[in-house]
Amino acid sequence: MEIQTTRFGKLNIHDDEVIVFSAGLIGFDNHTKWAILADERNESVGWLQSLEDPSLAFAVVSPRRYIPSYKVRISPEQATSLKIDAGMETFVLVIVSREEDFVTVNLRAPLLINLSLQLGRQVITTDEQPLRHVIATETIPLRRSA
């Protein structure tokens, strides 16, 4: 599939790179098809690009890069929706936001991705994670988000 994005230009996304979030993301319920793209300037950052809206992309990172002990506790229903079985690779990402003079990540609403089946779901954790965690001050260069 070829798409023209506002941030990355023309992209060729293969079927096995499409991640389906059947429930969408919080606030973006109608956006169900996404791809994860590498950032050319920062290897710790990826981009979750909507395949249905060329102007919609979110910077994402692994929370364990900043909080090695980070764990996600989810309900059985949330796990069932991802069809997670033993031996399947599950990836956890969090969305990066800029707030005043800080760059933060949302720890309470991570993205879980079953890489074996290319299924994703944004969940609200069932434990007492802090909502935001500061990962940098605004002195680091970030490209403007869509």
pLDDT tens-place string over residues 12-34:
999 999 999 999 999 999 999 99
Asked if the model's pLDDT at residue 90 lies above 90, the reply is no
Torsion from C-alpha of 7, 111, 36, 26, nearest 10 degrees: -40
Q: Is residue 98 situated within a structural domain?
A: yes
Section 82-93 average pLDDT: 80
**Does a structural domain hold residue 8?**
yes
pTM, rounded to two decimals: 0.83
**68: in domain:** yes
What percentage of the chain carries pLDDT values higher than 70?
86
The CATH number of the domain holding residue 112 is 2.30.290.10
Of 94-103, 123-132, 136-145, give the lowest mean pLDDT range.
Answer: 136-145
Question: So what's the pLDDT on residue 72?
Answer: 85
For the cut 70, the answer to whether the pLDDT of residue 144 exceeds it is no
Question: What is the number of domains present in the chain?
Answer: 1
Q: What angle do CA 138, 25, 29 make, to 5 degrees?
A: 135
Q: Is residue 71 part of a domain?
A: yes
- Out of 56-60, 77-81, 85-89, the most confident range is 56-60
Residue 27 inside a domain? The answer is yes
Higher per-residue pLDDT: 19 or 91: 19
**Which distant-in-sequence residues (6+ apart) come within 8 Å of 77 by Cβ?**
none
**Residue span of the structural domain in which 110 resides:** 2-137
Between 29 and 125, the higher pLDDT residue:
29
Dist. CA 121–CA 131, nearest whole Å:
18
How far apart, in whole angstroms, are the C-alpha atoms of residue 78 and residue 74?
A: 6
Percent of the chain at pLDDT exceeding 90: 49
- Residue 146: the pLDDT is 47
Q: Is the pLDDT of residue 145 over 80?
A: no
123 part of a folded domain: yes
Q: What's the helix, strand, coil split of the chain in %, to 5?
A: 10, 40, 55
